[in-house]
Chain A
Amino acid sequence: MKSEGGPKKQDGKQRRKRRRAHVMVAFIKLTLLEAVTEFLWSDGPESLLIPGGSDILVGPRPFTDKHILIDISQVTELKKVTVGAGGVLSVGVGLTHQEIVDHPVIRRRARLLQLACGRVGSIQIRNRGTLGGNLGNASPAGDSIPALACLDARVVVAGRSRRREFDLLSFFTGPGETALQVDEVIESVQIPEREGRSVAFFKKAGQRRGMCCSKASVALLARRRSPKSLSDVRVALGAVAPTVLRIPEVEQVLEGRRLTPAVIREAAEACSRAANPIDDIRSTADYRRQVVGALLTEGLFEIADHMQLLEQRRRSAKRRGRRR
């Protein structure tokens, strides 16, 4: 939930200099959403919101002594989970990743979000970092974003006496950049209800297993249409483009088709083609392109195995029934 007022990301040289200087900043804690929006309205450009602080405390500090840090980790309105008209699930973005993972309502209605939040960083980071922080940072590697993209989530932001709603992917305008105004705070994500039995996975490749930032990630959400095929397939990729991508090409390949090895290969290839990654200190563009396909393959094989297992169980139950 970075305020737009903070200076933009700096290159390495400037960053080193910045790190050397000690900075004294004002720090306040607000507990009412109204107080936060009021404060942002009057002092927006100078303020920096801290939902969990897992980035700001350790990273290159994106603030100067002119800044006011606002701790919003205790704003109760941001921690609400409700189910509204039409079965829309509203998740307050002040929840930590671990709170999302442990939440029974989210488990029933948005399991994919839990799968993704459960893979963020480490247990320490999941205990502090929030969904709002993950969205506000707008990193293409943010783990919750591909999951929310598959869930067709909408983002609600609050300003002083106004609210705006965005389609999730249109909320992100570039790496580290969002449509959030300086006087606004992200309030919740709205997840529409889905019919039928869902299957979902979130897979990521990182530099190591613990405490790890995604080199590439894949989220998939679909309905089990028949014992052997999927429908209403959504696939989103993280860390392989300036922002998270939904991949309709892959979705079309999988739509309604049996999960045979040939179909899975076709989907993986489409996935790799759709990726537009870069080389950086964590990995290479080549690897990222290949691994999104690999992650999708792994996930689809697991789903195919799982569906086969269910089918076997169903059949043997049927047989037992007949015998009786």
Chain B
Amino acid sequence: MKALKTVGRRPRRLDAEAKVLGELVYPSDRCLEGMLWVEVVRSAHPHARIESVDTSAAAAVAGVVCVLTAKDVPGENAFGIQIQDMPVLCHDRVRYMGDAVALVAAESRAAAREAVARVRVDYEVLEPIIDPEQAMQPDAPALHPGGNILHRGHFQKGDVEVGFKKSAVIIERAYQVPMMDHAYLETEAGVSYYDDSGSLTVESCGQYVYRDQTQIARALGLPLEKVRVTAPYTGGAFGGKDEITVQIHLALVTYHTKRPAKMVLSRDESIVSHTKRHPARMWYKTGASKSGKLLAVWCRLVSDTGAYASLGGPVLNLMMEHCAGPYLVPNVSVDGFAVYTNNGFSGAFRGFGCTQACVAIESQMDLMARALRRDPLAFRRDNVLHKGDRAALDYEMKTKVGAEATIRAAGRGKLYRTRGKFKRDRSEHTRSMAPYIKRGVGVASQMQGLGLGVGLPDYAEVELNFSPDGAVTVRASTSELGQGAYTAYAQMAAECMGVPLEKVRVVGADTKTTPDSGTTTASRTTYAVGNAILMAAGKLRAELDKRAVGLEGISVRETFHLPVADVKLGDGLPHLLYSYGTHVALVEVNTLTGEIAVLAVEAYLDGGRVIFRTGFEGQSEGGVAQGIGYALFEEVLFDRGRFLNTNFDTYILPTSMDVPADIRTVPVEVKEDTGPYGAKGVSETCMVGVTPAILNALHDAIGVRFTRLPVRAEDVLRAVLERRR
């Protein structure tokens, strides 16, 4: 194969200069002449019936242009990616604290806020449903017409009872993981206006402009072509902007007032209103033979989807799909439930169900290795899936499986190889010599489905233009969320068109000027858009051979359809392609105060061939920080459906002081045959394994197994004192 010139290297990000100089315009930066500020009246209760809404006092506030309620929604007053069960503006009932009851648009933000306080809503307060187990009972009051179970699944492979009978070691544990906020830097924001051609335009922060367009058009009763949505650059998303946030509200105000409008959520409002990572409870029973072969995995997974569906069903599907990790298990039984409650609202978040399942299965794997007195990495390696094996839900793994390669690479890594030295030697990563400081090294391995999975439309169309001056323009509708995808697109376009990177421009996320490239989610964009770029480049080169380049240049479009599994077990279930990863973490525990420090993390990631190396490492380092947050700090707290911590003073994120300087990211490039240059994706794999690796390291350090996240100093100290007794 020809040596690659651009792919796999470390070019400067396309947006680096604009971002460093502060010139890049994010949705919250946009200001338009004569624009109105929009503020939302949100529910005062986690669960209540709306008796009446009186907007007269609000409308009378100086500067207020309109106050809109449910009756002002001209189309279908409902949205949702999969099931449209969430009202744009609630008319009869509220189901969580973030529910929107009315909108205020005013000449100034101050006036809009003043008016929000004057909208009078009379509620009949209802008992909030806060426990998913109780919500599932047949006599529980139903939050939605179909009852409180949004989705359930049961899968079986072999016979777990037989597996457990043969097992020499059986481990049973219950795990609990919290609701997690995406904590993107930029809160949900956008502007709306009528463009020159009369299209109602929303410039916003979404992750899929074409779906946002559909959802807006449906709610406003407009034809699709009358709605335009753009979202090229956003200050972080992680799945939290996949669902509609401000888009329909903005469009509604412009629709009624014919004026431009702007919305930026405050942090408190953002945390209360947008989708979160599903809190879940997971019961696991796993068994292995004396020789260290996994024989059975039984689990029951209950995920709390909160007030509305969003992607609660598919998230549960992925949780079930990945319930046994990247391992070959002959006997599996899994039951999953996604349940409606009044605990906020959950949806997509980096890892998408795998994150939760990985915490549980990787803890189980460690406990089994311990019980069998086996090396935890060797135990994993001996049970790992290979191409041709049948996965947990009993379908064949048909593409290359990089799990073993990442495990072996981790075993060769400095941290694992010399873990004994790291645990004893205080000169490296020194904090204290004291005997009450304990150290531990933990590992975790995982796989992560790439793309939306079988049964969901998953394709990417791109347009490639070659201009007379030799410049190449890539048009794709995915968004740049900070991950660096546009740079990877440009690298691939430069490589296959044989032009220098400086000649490539990427135009993104605009329903008017870019073709539908699908969602910016599911670790899919480099793979899907990259493939479409390669196809279009082939066609473009053929065109260039045939004819001269005119003044407008030559444009071609191509659509890549993601290959899917040949079985269908559910929506998005299963996947054909997976990314793999193994993480190693070194932690230090102060057994006097219970404080935990993560000293070093090594990440061995198989995302196929790496296209944009700096972006790959950036993803990994961000993933480590987020994984530490999930393990040790982050949890959205509730009191009977009411949020307790809605800002970053009490919702605790890791800071630069809490994330180790020593993060080593090693690409394990198992080249994917169907991938562009052999690439897959890495944006979720890089985070998911970090959390269980830390839990396993904690066990190694102090001999205590934590099954509830986040693990706080309080929990450590309680456990240490209990052991001493």
Contact = CB atoms under 8 A, between A and B. Distances in A.
Interface of A: 16-17, 19-22, 24, 58-59, 122, 205, 207-211, 213, 215, 281-284, 286-287, 290-291, 294-295, 297-298, 301-302
B657 interface: yes
Nearest to B632: A208
Interface stretch (B16-24, B533-541, B648-656): B648-656
A291 B712 CA distance: 13
B432 to A, nearest CB: 9
Interface in B436-477: 436
B84 interface: no
B117 interface: yes
A283 B117 contact: no
Given A20-B113, A22-B114, A209 B593 contact: no
10 contacts: A209-B655, A210-B657, A213-B649, A284-B714, A287-B714, A290-B721, A291-B593, A294-B592, A294-B717, A301-B434
B645 A281 contact: yes
Contacts of B116: 20
Nearest to B714: A287
A291 B650 CA distance: 20
Interface of B: 109-110, 113-114, 116-117, 266, 268, 434, 436, 590, 592-595, 597, 632-633, 637, 644-645, 649-650, 652, 654-658, 712-714, 717-718, 721
Contacts of B657: 208-211
B593 A298 contact: yes
A287 B717 contact: yes
A293 to B, nearest CB: 9
Given A287-B594, A291-B713, A298-B593, A209 B658 contact: yes
B434 A210 contact: no
A87 B66 CA distance: 68
Given A291-B594, A298-B434, A208 B113 contact: no
Nearest to A301: B434
Contacts of A290: 717, 721
A112 B644 CA distance: 36
Given A20-B113, A210-B657, A281-B644, A294 B593 contact: yes
Contacts of B117: 17, 20-21
CB-CB nearest 10 A-B residue pairs: A210-B657, A210-B655, A22-B110, A294-B592, A209-B657, A287-B714, A294-B593, A207-B652, A208-B658, A209-B658
B114 A211 contact: no
Contact of A19 (B268, B595, B644): B268
Contacts of A301: 434
A297 B713 contact: no
A297 B434 CA distance: 11
A286 B633 CA distance: 19
A307 B656 CA distance: 34
Contacts of A294: 592-594, 717
B437 to A, nearest CB: 10
Given A208-B655, A209-B597, A281-B650, A21 B713 contact: no
Contacts of A205: 593, 595, 713
Contacts of B434: 298, 301-302
A220 to B, nearest CB: 15
Contacts of B114: 21-22
Given A287-B594, A291-B717, 16 more contacts: A21-B110, A21-B113, A21-B117, A207-B633, A208-B652, A208-B657, A208-B658, A209-B655, A209-B657, A210-B655, A210-B658, A281-B644, A284-B714, A287-B714, A290-B717, A301-B434
Contacts of A21: 110, 113-114, 117
B113, B592, B650, B654: which has the most chain A beta carbons within 10 Å? B592
Given A20-B117, A283-B714, A290-B721, A297 B645 contact: no
Contacts of B654: 208
A283 B713 CA distance: 9
Contacts of A297: 592
Nearest to B592: A294
Contacts of B594: 287, 291, 294
B713 A281 contact: no
A5 to B, nearest CB: 24
Contact of A211 (B436, B590, B655): B655
A12 to B, nearest CB: 8
A313 B613 CA distance: 52
Given A281-B650, A290-B721, A210 B656 contact: yes
Nearest to B437: A298
Nearest to B109: A22
A320 B15 CA distance: 65
A205 B655 CA distance: 16
B577 to A, nearest CB: 37
Contacts of B652: 207-208
A301 B436 CA distance: 11
A16 B650 CA distance: 15
Contacts of A24: 110
B49 to A, nearest CB: 21
A278 to B, nearest CB: 14
A205 B590 CA distance: 11
A212 to B, nearest CB: 8
Contacts of A282: 650
A122 B714 contact: no
A291 B632 CA distance: 18
A287 to B, nearest CB: 4
Contacts of B592: 294-295, 297-298
Contacts of A302: 434
B650 A287 contact: no
